[in-house]
Structure 1
Amino acid sequence: MSLSLSEAQLLGNWFETLTYGMYLVTCCFCARTLLCIGPEDRWRRPSEIRWFIFSVGITLFVVATFDVVIGLLHNLQAFAFYTGGGGAAQELSDISGWINMARTVAQVIQMILGDFVLANIQMLYCLLPPLESPNTLFNSIFRGFAMAIMLIKAQASLKHEKTTMNSSDIRPWSETLFCITAVQNALTTGLLIWRIWRVEREIEKLRANTSGKTNNQPFRKVIRVIAESGFAYTLMVFLTFVINVCKSNLIYPFANSTLQATGIAFNVIIMRTSPSRDEQFTVFAANGHSVAENGAPTRLRFRSHITELPADIDDDRHQHL
């Protein structure tokens, strides 16, 4: 599909506002989860609020809202206020202008912060053994951060040049950034699913030897939750990478939607740690743990609600939440 720069910008603004509306809906449920507690939904006391997660959520909301606002401002300047030669495309192609630079910075912040927090939330909710060391994950995040700096530097160096995000000076860095992000999220989700599946298989073997029953597979539901939470965001990043490689102006609507998808994925994961979900997860963990005590070698544990954390979880991991 061939799109002009003006068409791509307008389409990108429409897609971003659409996904931003979805994001706002998830924000309401996420705020309720973070600020309310108990069946009566009472307000949490300050000591009960997970301030790290709450501050990250606020940051993602501010960045997402800021990008929507300046995106609208950019279109107004190009289609309503610009009176120079070349029309709207002339204004939109000012790649080193402050609006284009601000939107690139917003995209970078959202992706780096979202990747870091999403990965930590998933890894903290399932305590993995040393085999799945987080060092590899953090190294990939730092590589993405380095690519983001190079992307911003390359874009800022094109002063007074009229070009797009498909410029040969910019595209290598943006492609690398999207590629690293997609691979990182796929690996994180895949490692968690593989580890949970392996633990479930060990428990099922022990259950078959002790009671002969193997039809109960509670951890399959946990696998589905983790897969669903990571699939949508990873898919959006991967599609953005493919569009970027194809040198299409569709990069604008896809990149804008991906920015909002970061916040949506974050909120969905938080919502799935609500008390009702935690009660279900606690039952799953209790069933598996009772079998594991009879000899199943597993280090996988699931957190319950913040007010009912198991005593055997390290205090330093508790402080992260």
Structure 2
Amino acid sequence: MADPFPITEAQLTGLFVESILFGVHMVSLGYCLQALMSTKTRWRRSSEINWPMVAISCALFANAAFDVSLGFYHNMKAFVFYTGPGGAAAKFTDISNWVNVLKSLTVVVQTMIGDAMLIYRCWVVYHQSFLVVSCSIVLWLGCLATTIWVIYLEATLHSRVLVSASQLQPAGTSFWALTIVLNIITTGLLLWRIHSVESSNRKYRIHSITDPDRRRSTLQRVMLSIIESGILYSIASLTTFITFVIGSNAVYVTTDAEIQIVGIAFNLIIIRASNIAGFGDGSTMVSAQTSATQSAPLQIIHGSQMTRDQKTEVHVLVTQDSKQDYENMKDS
């Protein structure tokens, strides 16, 4: 049965949706860079800037901008310059055309960068434990293998088929299934870790240096930020997975949207972390301290080195000692 959503309409709709989201991505990038490179009162010195986060944010944006450019070029070639048989649909269904291959590559690369950063955050929160994120790393490597598989098939198929063709179904379905499972597991690990510390805080005592009167704790706000960004990303991936599996041309729209949403979700976590810190700081640093263990940093965004008066730290002090012991620890 013919798809009720023709490929020509799908390509135009995808470009339109992606262009709108690209504008949102651009704005979020501006706020993200502001959070990473400045405080409320001044620009940071070079040694104070978290350059890896700046590089990742810019790389996601550059890849997304490249995909928009490819989409515009592809539509111009198909609708304006191509005069051969089959019309615009013939250009779009040439699966091994370099534009089709590159557009698929930009989508999977963007998704894998987003997944890698999610694993990195989880790794930091669990005290750089590779054991905890080992399952996520295996899933990410599976995504890498299926990425190579997908791109190889597209580049060598040389047939007039769509990206959801039966020849590409096993590889594509595997990729999207793996990335969805990876997101669920890794986000769950993040939330479980933060929730565990928050539960201990409620059981004993909470002390916030920045604002002890806040009704919602810093950890709760961090959890909310992760949940919101995670849901945004997961919905985009799940929608893409569904449209791909059913073989709908709507997959061109969902993948065009996904490549922008990955970057937006990444930027939003940094922006929200900056707001949680209370000023234009690109890092949120939460540490759980007990009388029996050393300080354990739960760095959702790995902060750059800053002087003491430039850093906002929220210390969650959890202790089973007496009130006097707690007061002594607080005074020290």
TM-score, with normalisation over the residues of structure 2? Answer: 0.80
Paired letter, 1:153? Y
Equivalences for residues 1-321 of structure 1 within 5 A:
2-36=4-38, 38-40=39-41, 42-124=42-124, 126-128=125-127, 133-159=132-158, 161-207=159-205, 218=217, 219-274=219-274, 276-279=275-278, 285=286, 289=288, 293=290, 299=296, 301-302=298-299, 306=304, 307=306, 308=311
Q: Distance in 2 between matches of 1:231 and 1:185?
A: 10
Deviation at 1:113, TM superposition (A): 1.3
Stretch moving more, 96-105 or 134-143: 134-143
Contact 1:101 1:155 in 2 (8 A): yes
Aligned to 2:325: none
Deviation at 1:130, TM superposition (A): 5.0
Paired letter, 2:117? V
Contact 1:27 1:267 in 2 (8 A): yes
Q: Deviations over 1:265-321 (max 9, x none)?
A: 1111121232x42249999957xx4xx5357999563579542387x9xxxxxxxxx
Q: Pick closer, same or farther for the CA change 1:193–1:184 going to 2, 3 Å.
A: same
Task: Give secondary structure in 2 for the equivalent of 1:301.
Answer: strand
Contact 1:114 1:266 in 2 (8 A): yes
Q: Distance in 2 between matches of 1:66 and 1:216?
A: 44
Q: Distance in 2 between matches of 1:283 and 1:251?
A: 36
Q: Pick closer, same or farther for the CA change 1:16–1:217 going to 2, 3 Å.
A: closer
Question: Which is helix-richer, 1 or 2?
Answer: 1
Q: Distance in 2 between matches of 1:134 and 1:247?
A: 33
Q: Distance in 2 between matches of 1:298 and 1:168?
A: 53
Task: Give secondary structure in 2 for the equivalent of 1:273.
Answer: helix
Q: Distance in 1 between matches of 2:271 and 2:69?
A: 26
Q: Pick closer, same or farther for the CA change 1:145–1:129 going to 2, 3 Å.
A: closer
Paired letter, 2:10? A
Deviation at 1:6, TM superposition (A): 0.7
Q: Report sequence identity in percent.
A: 31
Structure 1 unpaired stretches of 5+: 209-214, 313-321
Structure 2 unpaired stretches of 5+: 207-213, 316-332
Contact 2:133 2:186 in 1 (8 A): no
- Report the count of equivalent residues: 296
Deviation at 1:238, TM superposition (A): 0.9
Q: Pick closer, same or farther for the CA change 1:26–1:174 going to 2, 3 Å.
A: same
Contact 2:122 2:189 in 1 (8 A): no
Q: Pick closer, same or farther for the CA change 1:194–1:69 going to 2, 3 Å.
A: same
Contact 1:110 1:262 in 2 (8 A): yes
Contact 1:132 1:191 in 2 (8 A): no
Deviation at 1:121, TM superposition (A): 3.1
Q: Pick closer, same or farther for the CA change 1:279–1:84 going to 2, 3 Å.
A: same
Q: Distance in 2 between matches of 1:2 and 1:144?
A: 31
Q: Pick closer, same or farther for the CA change 1:297–1:129 going to 2, 3 Å.
A: farther
Q: Pick closer, same or farther for the CA change 1:284–1:152 going to 2, 3 Å.
A: closer
Stretch moving more, 146-155 or 292-301: 292-301
Deviation at 1:131, TM superposition (A): 9.4
Paired letter, 2:29? C
Aligned to 1:318: none
Paired letter, 2:126? L
**How much is the aligned-residue C-alpha RMSD, in angstroms?**
2.9
Contact 1:203 1:296 in 2 (8 A): no
Greater RCO structure (CA 8 Å; 6+ sep): 1
Aligned to 1:319: none
Q: Pick closer, same or farther for the CA change 1:297–1:69 going to 2, 3 Å.
A: same
Contact 2:11 2:75 in 1 (8 A): yes
Contact 1:9 1:252 in 2 (8 A): yes
Q: Deviations over 1:186-215 (max 9, x none)?
A: 11111111222222223323359xxxxxx9
Aligned to 2:321: none
Q: Pick closer, same or farther for the CA change 1:30–1:217 going to 2, 3 Å.
A: closer
Contact 2:153 2:168 in 1 (8 A): yes
Q: Distance in 1 between matches of 2:155 and 2:272?
A: 40
Paired letter, 2:298? R
Paired letter, 1:197? H
